[in-house]
Structure 1
């Protein structure tokens, strides 16, 4: 239990260190990622006006039907894009990729083409990398 708390405190320290350098503007907002045990959340944030422009999560009603059908990929060599090679092919990674695509579609509908990626203190691997790849696939530039 204590090790988990220390790991989260270290993540928050990393996140604060990165946030000193990464800010989102109205022209190029920040794509922020939060990862819990089972869910993943993404927000597009304009830090100048301190507001969330759009958001998506694995709990969204738009994704519930899609995510129930998402299963672990059985033959990864055929179905995994090159950018996601070496990352686990489980259901949560595929879920994160779908969330990235959804947040990118919502941002593009609002006219946002470019964002600054804020990984939230997490390492760029697994679900965080899959979310970023899904957002890039849907057309966000970062």
Structure 2
């Protein structure tokens, strides 16, 4: 029986997250979520279970409300890099979830790297 797209996505997300947890213990996780209309990202400290910083295309100050394209993802990536500096985070690992590292997710990652995050 063929798996649905949702089931394949969930399997891929667990596979990616479990591999990253084995390699990057003690580091902060940069978690990405992409929907059809928006993109959001969080810096999560899994040891303490807290979110250190977040950014989303829903925020008015970024000026990309209602847009879900590569430019919006790049602005969100720069915003999370600035907020990570304020939270004194420089090293993290990139958790793309079940999303492919292509297009918007890749643009967000590259902008965060340009902003000073190391992963």
Question: Which interval holds the TM-score relative to the shorter structure?
Answer: 0.7 to 0.9
So what's the TM-score if we normalise by structure 1? Answer: 0.73
Q: Secondary structure at the match of 2:88?
A: coil
Deviation at 1:61, TM superposition (A): 2.3
Provide Cα deviations, 1:92-120, integer angstroms capped at 9, x if missing partner: 11000100110111011111011100011
**Any runs of at least 4 consecutive aligned residues in structure 1 with deviations exceeding 3 A, and if so which?**
23-26
So what's the TM-score if we normalise by structure 2? Answer: 0.87
Hey, what does 1:100 align to over in structure 2? 77
Q: Secondary structure at the match of 1:22?
A: helix
| Matched length | 114
The structure in which a higher percent of residues are strand is 2
Hey, what does 1:30 align to over in structure 2? 29
Unaligned runs of 5+ in 1: 71-90
Deviation at 1:128, TM superposition (A): 0.3
Q: Secondary structure at the match of 1:13?
A: helix
Larger radius of gyration: 1
